[in-house]
Amino acid sequence: MGRLAGKVAIITGAGRGIGRAMARRFAAEGAKVAVTSFTHENAVSLARELNEAHGGHTALAIRCDVGEEADIAQAVAHTAEVFGTIDIVCNNAFELASAAKSVLGTSEADFNRQMITGPLAALRMMQAVYPFMEGRDGRILNFGSAAAIEGTMGMAPYNMAKEAIRGLTRTAAREWGDKRITVNALMPVALTESFQNALDQGLAQVAPSPVPRMGDLDKDIVPVALFLVSPEAGYVTGYSWFADGGLKMDAGR
């Protein structure tokens, strides 16, 4: 039996990168997965792949722009209607800024977009799934970033949004600990499409880490996510988990 047998998961931004890799592994571990994506075709093709691999009733494709409150509400309602409940949510989606944004160069529109698609989207999703999870071993996994801890230059709106997500994570972990819901944040480093774009734009750099390589989605990042959303992680909540080859070991202390 898989480690997520009988569980129902919603993953945002599942069309590519870490979200897609989590969807594939969670389905392989026995979960029903709502594959939500900004781009409907990506959700449909991944859901089809998972249904072919694991049986017709494994995955559900849902178009969801996490910047839209109605899309989040609809994704939650549709998942619960089809799969009966919701046990796991991964608030993975994020929007890559199209250019470097310094502190002085950050407009209110830049700020609002990152805050709406980042912490506000996570908050809305968490509020919407709470009734399904209360008292039932719910698992919420949010996504922070080492760049935000470091204060990487040129990423002001992203950094603010990512640290707000960690504040939300800790607060919900405290408020919902006695409701049998865990809330953690994952801090990954992996060469995904968006990371490559950030490198190409000069927004990110590959910093040397004690484990001297980039993280591999399937071997290095997804196993940490899988543990955090699994039934085995019921006594683990409110933390930021760094899957980064030791890059930010000081911050994780």
Ligand X SMILES: NC(=O)c1ccc[n+]([C@@H]2O[C@H](COP(=O)([O-])OP(=O)(O)OC[C@H]3O[C@@H](n4cnc5c(N)ncnc54)[C@H](O)[C@@H]3O)[C@@H](O)[C@H]2O)c1
Which residues are catalytically annotated?
158
Least separation in angstroms between residue 31's CB and ligand X is 18
| Comparison of 119 and 188: residue with beta carbon closer to ligand X | 188
Residue 19 CB, nearest distance to ligand X (Å)?
Answer: 6
Which amino acid, 132?
A: F
List, in order, residues 6 or more apart from 51 with CB less than 8 Å away. 57, 58, 59
CB of 115 to ligand X, least distance (A): 12
Residue number with CB closer to ligand X (134 or 193): 193
d(CA 97, CA 93): 13
For ligand X, give the closer residue by CB, 13 or 138.
Answer: 13
Comparing CB distances to ligand X, the nearer of 82 and 206 is: 206
Cα–Cα distance, 197 to 179 (Å, whole number): 40
Q: How far is the CB of 193 from ligand X (least distance, A)?
A: 5
- R_g over Cα of the chain: 17
Q: Which residues bind ligand X (CB under 6 A)?
A: 12-13, 15-19, 38, 64-67, 92-96, 117, 143, 145, 188-190, 192-195
